[in-house]
Structure 1
Amino acid sequence: MTRKFIARIIGRGGMQMPKETFLNLPNEKKQRINELLLETFCKQHISQVKVAEIVEKMGMSRGAFYKYFQDLEDAYLYTIHSSSQLIHQDILTFVDQNKHDFFLGIEKYLAWCCDLDHSDPYWQRLYLLTKRNDQQTTKRRPLSADSKMVRQWLDLLKTNHFKIQSPEEAVSFLYFSMSLVMNSLADFITNEWSKEELLTDFRYKANWLSDGVKK
C-alpha cells in the first residue's frame, strides 16, 4: 500500500480549498501561514478568532488574507481537513507497516503520538482534531465502493482475517478505525493519561473487537 494510495483512499473529495493565490505561494511562506493558522485555531475556538488577529501575526494586510481565503471559516476548514488527511494517512501507514497485525499497527501509532513534544505542529493537529466537536472532523468523503483503492483495503482486512462482507462494509470499517484512533487520543489528552494508560485502554478495545465481550 503506497503513500500515494493512502492519500487516495482517504480522498480530498469535498475538501475546503484555499484560493489559487495561496496554493501558488512559495512553500516556505505557505508553511508559515499553515503553522500560524494551526496555532491560532488550536488555542481558540473559531468563534473567538478574528481575522485581524491572524493578519497581525502573519504581518500582512487584511486584503492579503482574503486573496488567500474566502473568509475565516474557509481558513479554518482548510486547517481541519489538511490536518485530518495528514493524520489519517499516517495511521494507515503504521497499519500497513504491520499489515499482519492490524491493531499492533494502530498501537504503534498511538505510542508514537505519545512521545511527541506538545509544541510540535503535528501534536497541535492532533489536539485540534480531538478537542473540536465539529462535524467537519467526522464527515465522510465520497469513496466508490468498487474502486481499486477499496479492493486494496479489503486485501489488508483479509490478511488480518476480518469478517468484512462487502466493499461498503470495508469503507465503513475504514472510518470506524479512524474514529477509534482519534477517540483514543481524545481520551489520552482529556484525561492526561500516561502512554501506558493509553495503550492499556486501547488494548481493551482491540481485545473487544478481536474476541468479543460476550462469553
Structure 2
Amino acid sequence: MPSETFFNLPEKKQKRILEAAKKEFSQSALKDASIANIVKDAEISRGSFYQYFDDIEDLYLYYFHSLGKDNHEQFLLSLKQHRGDLFVTFHDFFSHWILEIFKGENVLFYKNLFTSMDYRGLHKVILFGDKKMQEKLYQKTRSDHRKIKSDQKEMLDVVDRSLINVKNDQELQLLFQLLMHIAFSTIADGYRRHFENGRYDIVQISKEFDLKLNWLKKGARKLKNEENDQ
C-alpha cells in the first residue's frame, strides 16, 4: 500500500498521481499497464514512484480502494434505512452500484477490472489485498484506520442478526465476503455474456444477482413437500 512518503505529499500532487493512474488503468488492464505512462502523466520520476508504491499493483489496489470510499458510506446508510436487513441492503446497493460500473465516470476502469482479472485477482481486490497488506495501509494512515475500524464496527452493529444465521462477528464478516464475491462474479459474467446491440444488459445482470441472492437467502434446494406440490 502507499508509503508514508506518499501520504505526506501535498493533496494536489496525490490527486495528480491518482488521475494518472485512472488514465492508465482505464486504457490498459493491470497486466499491460505502464509505470512509464503513469510517471509521465503525473509529472514525477520513476524513482519517486517507487518511494510511494511497492509496484504497479500496489497503486492499482489503492486506486480501487479510493473509488470505494463513497460506496462504503452509501452501503452503511442503506443498511440503516433498511433496519439492518443485509439481503435487502445488498439488493439496493447492487442496483445503484451496477449503474456506476456500467455508466459512471469510471466505466473504462471497471471494464478493464472485471474483464481482465482472474478469480485470485478479484479476490484480492474485494479484500483489498491480504491481511498483511491491510495492516500496512492502516499503519500508514492512522486516522483512516480509526475511521475504517469504526465504520466496520458500526456496520456489524447495525446488521439485524435475527434475520440471518450467523453466530458471531467472524461469521458475519464471512457472509459479507460471500455476498461481495457474488456481486463481483455476477458483474464479471455480465461483461462476458450480456453484451447485445452495442450495450450491456444491466437489467439481466441485476436479475441474475437477485436470483443468486435469493438462493443464498432461502436455499436452492427444494424441500420434499415443495417437490410434491409440483
- TM above 0.5: yes
Counterpart amino acid of residue 88 in structure 2: L
Structure 2 CA distance, aligned partners of 1:173 and 1:81? Answer: 20
Gaps of 5+ in 2: 136-148, 224-230
Q: How far off its partner does 1:194 sit? A: 2.5
Structure 2 CA distance for partners of 1:125 and 1:172, relative to 1, 3 Å: farther
Q: How many residues align?
A: 194
Q: Is the 8 A contact 1:154 1:170 kept in 2?
A: no
Q: How far off its partner does 1:127 sit? A: 3.7
Is 1:120 the counterpart of 2:105 in the alignment? yes
Structure 2 CA distance, aligned partners of 1:41 and 1:205? Answer: 30
The one of 163, 167, 170 aligned to 1:168: 170
Structure 1 CA distance, aligned partners of 2:206 and 2:82? Answer: 17
Q: How far off its partner does 1:93 sit? A: 4.1
Structure 2 residue aligned with 1:136: 124
Instruction: Encode CA deviations 1:59-96: one digit per residue, 9 max, x unaligned.
Output: 33333323322333432343344446665554444333
Counterparts in 2 of 1:1-215, with a 5 A limit?
16=1, 18-83=2-67, 87-88=71-72, 90-116=74-100, 118=103, 120-121=105-106, 123=107, 126-127=110-111, 129-131=113-115, 132-133=117-118, 134=121, 135-139=123-127, 141=131, 153=156, 156-159=159-162, 161-190=163-192, 191-192=194-195, 193-213=200-220, 214-215=222-223
Please, which moves more after superposition, 204-213 or 59-68? 59-68
Instruction: Encode CA deviations 1:162-209: one digit per residue, 9 max, x unaligned.
Output: 111233322211211221222222233332343321222122122212
- Higher helix fraction: Structure 1 or Structure 2? 2
Gaps of 5+ in 1: 1-15
SS at match of 2:159: helix
Structure 1 CA distance, aligned partners of 2:161 and 2:3? Answer: 41
CA radius of gyration, larger in:
2
Over aligned residue pairs, what C-alpha RMSD do you find? 3.3
